[in-house]
Amino acid sequence: MPLALNLKRLEAESIGIIREVAAEFRNPVMLYSIGKDSGVMLHLAMKAFYPSKPPFPLLHVDTGWKFGDMIRHRDQIVARYGLKLLVHTNAEGVARGINPIASGSQLHTQVMKTEALKQALDKWEFDAAFGGARRDEEKSRAKERVFSFRSAGHVWDPRNQRPELWQLYNTRISKGETIRVFPLSNWTELDIWQYTRAQNIPVVPLYFAAPRRVVKRDGVLIMRDDDRMPLLAGEVEQTLTVRFRSLGCYPLSAAIESTAATLDDIIQEMITSRTSERSGRLIDSDEAASMEKKKREGYF
Amino acid sequence: MDASPLRFLTCGSVDDGKSTLIGRLLYDTKLIMEDQLAALQRDSRKHGTTGDDMDLALLVDGLEAEREQGITIDVAYRFFATPRRSFIVADTPGHEQYTRNMATGASNSDAAVILIDARKGVLTQTRRHSYICSLLGIRHVIVAVNKIDLVDFSGERFHHIVGDYLGFAQALGFTSIATIPVSARFGDNVTQRSGHMCWYDGPTLLEHLETLDVEQALDGKPFRFPVQWVNRPNLDFRGFSGTLVSGSVKPGDRVVVAASGKESKVTRIVTADGDLPEAHAGDAVTLTFADEIDVARGDVIAHADSRPDVVDQFAAHVLWMAEDEMLPGRSYLMRIGTKFVPARITSLKHKVDINTLDHTAAKTLALNEIGLCNLSASTPVAFDPYSDNRATGAFILVDRFTNATAGAGMITFGLRRATNIHRQSVLVDKASRLRMHGHRPAILWFTGLSGSGKSTIASVVERELHARGAHTYMLDGDNVRHGLNRDLGFTDADRVENIRRVGEVAKLFVDAGLLVLCSFISPFRAERRMVRELVDAEEFVEIFVDTPLEECMRRDPKGLYARAKEGKIKNFTGIDSPYEAPENAEIVIDSRQGNAETAAQRILAALAERRIVG
């Protein structure tokens, strides 16, 4: 099936962005977070350099609290594409006993995601890092550049971003500075699913509805992926047919009740859905300008 | 849905209801979700300006500072789709101090919605927005006369405003101008036809956007393929990856590398989905050629019978985007297509008043100002005029020290001077002069504060070189400022031009085989670097005479510091004009250690070490 024209345009734009990074940077890396957006981004990278392989490794920042299904999917994909995967976990955070249940979502995200990411970028001296964020996800992301400058220390200053005209990206940086690159900037959630379907891109099974053991906590459904998550007083585990729209650490990712078991179902559900994708990401609702704050500190 | 997606921007100022209009489009096309609506209701009570109604503008003002101040500072991109078409909206601020943000949004847009407040009519800012859209190559505008509810839905008022607008917009060369009366706050004629304006029978804003044909026939334009990346997985495959920015190409087509004129034939159009029989504008592909011709990132591939111009000098409109003003003569890094090349603005022909469109004479461009400039690139570049091709006629200028994006340019035409005048080839070259002189030519560039002792040291060095039979010449502020540069003052722009001319003269002397001693305060790194780049790397020796300001002021051999402190001399380096110390000078002299003679000996030793003199 030939691609719809709008997806074809988005695909070509993203491929152009990905090639640009390979041509201009000394040591780029692609952040691979295992979700649907990462899946599309990786697929585009494979297409961009064909018949060559992408000239950069993948990096997964593992908080230790991802769904088991995600890690299995990650390892399958890496083997299938034959790419190099780097995995980094903030050992210091593990030693301090930071976790999403006892430490709270804010501290866990700060230490195990944001700090861990900065450690990894410093450790391997990457000068450019691809991320799968989209502008339609969240208000502060709507103002993000495609090539987003980070001063030494990975700081984002939203008031002082480089103007970005045409496709003439400014790729120049000094030592210690880095660029975050967002090839999916102009994609919407619906575009991602339609492209995933059109191109047969494999996704984590958690996106599809199935009977799963969940517990209702703070008004949302949380899946107990392993026994590290204790039940609180009065909580009961129940089996419901649920799926996930967005995947993160399992205690921080809310499931939705749904029967969408195929890509077609998911797309149909999206078209009629009345809640946004990140509504299930508990880390976003900490404060109104929560994402902007995290991004300033170095979160992707 | 298989229409091409539409990218458009909205222009208007704080009070015109621009963010409200986008909020309305998102709301009415059901792109606002329940949880976002809940957040909006919370925020409306906190920052809103619409009483108990939801403030739709808060949906699009993303940054904390914007929500607090109720204004749009940066470009925000918004997405929505109808069953007929998908849209990307660039929401840009309208104030004059945000011209660069508006230009950014316009650069990637095919159409513009220009908001006019029905109560206020066509304002200065309406002209400014229209001019910037026109300059950035937008061909389709939609004039949305907003807040029509506040003038009692008056058709008379609307037609009066439309008449005013068309009066001045004729000159801007738009292909289509649509005019629509709307109320963004209440939704009239945005996505739904208004029941209040029976005198209007045109389309709603959304209907118009859905059907607007912006395909600029990119496919029908000449084939242009800027090479992004050389694809070389193994010895058997050598392809060139990039995106066709215009035109189309087939295997068998005869093509050229624009800059070198080298020709070959396209053999394959490779993609991960298989080879293509033909590629069109917008396609990201990998081309292979029949011959092993030299092709690199930055090259532009074109059909042999329809080539872009290749010049090193051209005229362009430049929009300045940096806090530091644009200085003619200073070297910037120009990005055009996939190529980065050093370039200078050689002259500013005029500045454009973006409110009146009048031309005024000027020496520099400040942040958000636009001027018509002549530029000179260090190597020839392939381009088309911006009005013919946005992708091959646009460039950005990057500051070489801060790496900030300092300017955006749109090429109007190449300068014939560069295309038709060829360099006189020389029979006596540098190598033959070197044999005769017995030493290598070089520029010895002495920089330091006034009174640092650089001229004194340079004189001793010259005397010693002369004694060894070297051919030398001394250029300093006194002998240059009284003749060659008599017309220049001491503003930043004049200082840059002063050093540029000195650099060019020194370069000629280097060609003649001489050792040129230049003694200039030359306070800016950018200009010293500009001179450095005029000659070969080993032919420029920067000598930093590092004397602290207090010491120079104590010495004050010409009494200049005393007069500067009294305010009798303006723009005096160290007093009210900055000195940027060299970071990587070849030789650093601390003039508090020893005297001019010992300093000169150190310099001579360093020159011998570099094998400039024996």
Measured CA to CA, the distance from residue A204 to residue A36 in angstroms comes to 8
Q: Do A189 and A270 form a contact (C-beta atoms < 8 A)?
A: yes
Catalytic residues of B: 522
Per-residue pLDDT at A229: 86
Q: Which of A75-84, B158-167, B253-262, B562-571 has the lowest mean pLDDT?
A: B562-571
In the predicted model, what is the mean pLDDT of residues B429-452? 81
Mutation target among B43, B47, B210, B228 for the A interface, most CBs of A within 10 A = B228
Higher pLDDT, B251 or B353: B251
pLDDT at residue A284 greater than cutoff 90: no
Using an 8 Å CB-CB cutoff, list chain B residues near A275.
33-35
Give one word for A298, left, alpha or beta, with left for phi > 0 and alpha for psi -120 to 50.
left
Within 8 A by CB and 6+ apart from B479, the residues are none
pLDDT digits (tens, 9 = 90+) for B575-592: 888 899 998 899 999 877
pLDDT digits (tens, 9 = 90+) for B212-225: 987 667 788 999 99
Does residue B391 sit at the A interface (CB-CB below 8 Å)? yes
B441 & B569 share domain: yes
Most confident of A269-283, B341-355, B559-573: B341-355
Q: Are strands B263-270 and B254-257 parallel, antiparallel or unpaired?
A: antiparallel
Does residue B408 sit at the A interface (CB-CB below 8 Å)? yes
Mutation target among A134, A151, A168 for the B interface, most CBs of B within 10 A = A168
pLDDT digits (tens, 9 = 90+) for B296-325: 999 999 999 999 999 989 999 999 999 889
Separation of CA B218 from chain center: 24
Per-residue pLDDT at B583: 86
Nearest to B188 by CA among B151, B160, B140, B141: B151
Using an 8 Å CB-CB cutoff, list chain B residues near A142.
60, 62, 76-78
**Contacts by A247-250 with C-beta closer than 8 Å and gap 24+?**
A247/A34, A247/A35, A247/A66, A247/A67, A247/A70, A247/A204, A247/A206, A247/A207, A248/A66, A248/A281, A248/A283, A249/A63, A249/A65, A249/A66, A249/A100, A249/A108, A249/A112, A250/A65, A250/A66, A250/A67, A250/A222, A250/A223, A250/A224, A250/A225
pLDDT at residue B13 greater than cutoff 80: no
Measured CA to CA, the distance from residue B300 to residue B337 in angstroms comes to 8
- Give the residue from chain A lying closest to B87, CA to CA: A6
Per-residue pLDDT at B490: 79
**Position A281 confidence tier, pLDDT thresholds 50, 70, 90:** low
B314 & B334 share domain: yes
Residue A224 tokens, joined: 């107990």
Using an 8 Å CB-CB cutoff, list chain A residues near B243.
12, 15-16
Using an 8 Å CB-CB cutoff, list chain A residues near B34.
274-275
B332 & B470 share domain: no
Per-residue pLDDT at A136: 85
Q: Are strands B405-414 and B237-243 parallel, antiparallel or unpaired?
A: unpaired
**Position B111 confidence tier, pLDDT thresholds 50, 70, 90:** very high
DSSP B326: B
pLDDT digits (tens, 9 = 90+) for B169-184: 988 989 999 999 999 8
Does residue B531 sit at the A interface (CB-CB below 8 Å)? no
B351 & B476 share domain: no
Nearest to B573 by CA among B445, B451, B449, B446: B449
B492 & B520 share domain: yes
Per-residue pLDDT at B419: 46
Query: Is residue B425, in this structure, part of any structural domain at all?
Result: no
B412 & B437 share domain: no
In the predicted model, what is the mean pLDDT of residues A49-59? 96
pLDDT digits (tens, 9 = 90+) for B47-60: 555 554 556 666 65
Per-residue pLDDT at B29: 79
Asked whether the beta carbons of residue A5 and residue B74 sit closer than 8 angstroms, the reply is: no
Measured CA to CA, the distance from residue B179 to residue B470 in angstroms comes to 75
The number of C-beta contacts closer than 8 angstroms across A and B is 162
B:444-483 residues touching chain A, CB 8 A cutoff: none
B414 & B522 share domain: no
CATH number, domain of B234, equals: 2.40.30.10
Separation of CA A293 from chain center: 17
Per-residue pLDDT at B67: 53
Using an 8 Å CB-CB cutoff, list chain A residues near B100.
163
Query: How near does any CA of chain B get to the CA of A223, in Å?
Result: 21
Q: Do A181 and B406 form a contact (C-beta atoms < 8 A)?
A: no
B322 & B391 share domain: yes
**Position B423 confidence tier, pLDDT thresholds 50, 70, 90:** very low
- Cα Dmax for chain B: 96
Within 8 A by CB and 6+ apart from B125, the residues are B12, B13, B94, B96, B355
B278 & B389 share domain: no
Higher pLDDT, A150 or B356: A150
Asked whether the beta carbons of residue A23 and residue B5 sit closer than 8 angstroms, the reply is: no
Measured CA to CA, the distance from residue B535 to residue B519 in angstroms comes to 17
Asked whether the beta carbons of residue A165 and residue B107 sit closer than 8 angstroms, the reply is: yes
**Position B425 confidence tier, pLDDT thresholds 50, 70, 90:** very low
Residue B512 to residues B121, B258, B302, Cα–Cα distance (Å): 65, 33, 40
pLDDT digits (tens, 9 = 90+) for B189-212: 999 898 889 999 999 999 999 999
Mutation target among B47, B69, B74 for the A interface, most CBs of A within 10 A = B74
- Give the residue from chain B lying closest to A272, CA to CA: B30
User: Is the previous residue joined to A51 through a cis bond, with omega within 30 degrees of 0?
Assistant: yes
Measured CA to CA, the distance from residue A53 to residue A45 in angstroms comes to 8
DSSP B311: E
- Give the residue from chain B lying closest to A285, CA to CA: B39
What is the number of structural domains in chain B?
A: 4
B397 & B544 share domain: no
Query: Is residue B1, in this structure, part of any structural domain at all?
Result: no
Residue B390 tokens, joined: 């946005």
Using an 8 Å CB-CB cutoff, list chain B residues near A167.
108, 391
Using an 8 Å CB-CB cutoff, list chain B residues near A143.
62-63, 74-77
Asked whether the beta carbons of residue B64 and residue A289 sit closer than 8 angstroms, the reply is: yes
**Position A271 confidence tier, pLDDT thresholds 50, 70, 90:** confident
Asked whether the beta carbons of residue B398 and residue A172 sit closer than 8 angstroms, the reply is: yes
What value does the mean pLDDT of chain B take?
86
Measured CA to CA, the distance from residue B460 to residue B440 in angstroms comes to 19
pLDDT at residue A287 greater than cutoff 60: no
CATH number, domain of B77, equals: 3.40.50.300
Per-residue pLDDT at B420: 40
Give the DSSP H or E segment for B243. strand B237-243
Three-state SS annotation for B350-375: EEECCCCCCEECCCCECCCCEEEEEE
Supply the ipTM of this predicted assembly. 0.91
Asked whether the beta carbons of residue A288 and residue B395 sit closer than 8 angstroms, the reply is: no
- Cα Dmax for chain A: 58
**Domains of chain A with bracketed CATH:** 5-200+289-297 (3.40.50.620), 205-284 (no CATH)
Nearest residue, CB atoms, B35 vs list A135, A279, A289: A279
Per-residue pLDDT at A1: 63
B:241-260 residues touching chain A, CB 8 A cutoff: 241-243
Per-residue pLDDT at A230: 85
Last residue of one domain, picked from the residues B275, B303, B331: B303
pLDDT at residue B614 greater than cutoff 50: yes
Query: Is residue B106, in this structure, part of any structural domain at all?
Result: yes
pLDDT digits (tens, 9 = 90+) for B467-509: 888 899 999 877 788 888 888 887 888 888 889 999 999 999 9
Using an 8 Å CB-CB cutoff, list chain A residues near B386.
none
Query: Is residue B554, in this structure, part of any structural domain at all?
Result: yes
Per DSSP, the residues of B163-184 read: HHHHHHHGGGT-SEEEEEE-BT
Separation of CA B108 from chain center: 15
Asked whether the beta carbons of residue B103 and residue A165 sit closer than 8 angstroms, the reply is: yes
Domain of residue B74, residue span: 6-211
Per-residue pLDDT at A161: 82
Higher pLDDT, B36 or A76: A76
pLDDT digits (tens, 9 = 90+) for A195-249: 999 999 999 999 999 999 999 988 889 998 888 888 888 889 999 999 999 898 8
Does residue B41 sit at the A interface (CB-CB below 8 Å)? no
What are the helix (H) ranges across chain A? 5-24, 36-49, 68-81, 91-95, 105-108, 116-123, 189-199, 263-272, 290-297
What's the pTM?
A: 0.78
Per-residue pLDDT at A62: 94
**Position A288 confidence tier, pLDDT thresholds 50, 70, 90:** very low
B459 & B509 share domain: yes
Last residue of one domain, picked from the residues B388, B420, B452: B420
pLDDT digits (tens, 9 = 90+) for B487-497: 888 788 888 88
Does residue B296 sit at the A interface (CB-CB below 8 Å)? no
Per-residue pLDDT at B429: 63
Query: How near does any CA of chain B get to the CA of A28, in Å?
Result: 15
Asked whether the beta carbons of residue B75 and residue A143 sit closer than 8 angstroms, the reply is: yes
pLDDT at residue B101 greater than cutoff 90: no
B123 & B10 share domain: yes
- Give the residue from chain B lying closest to A1, CA to CA: B273
Last residue of one domain, picked from the residues B162, B178, B211: B211
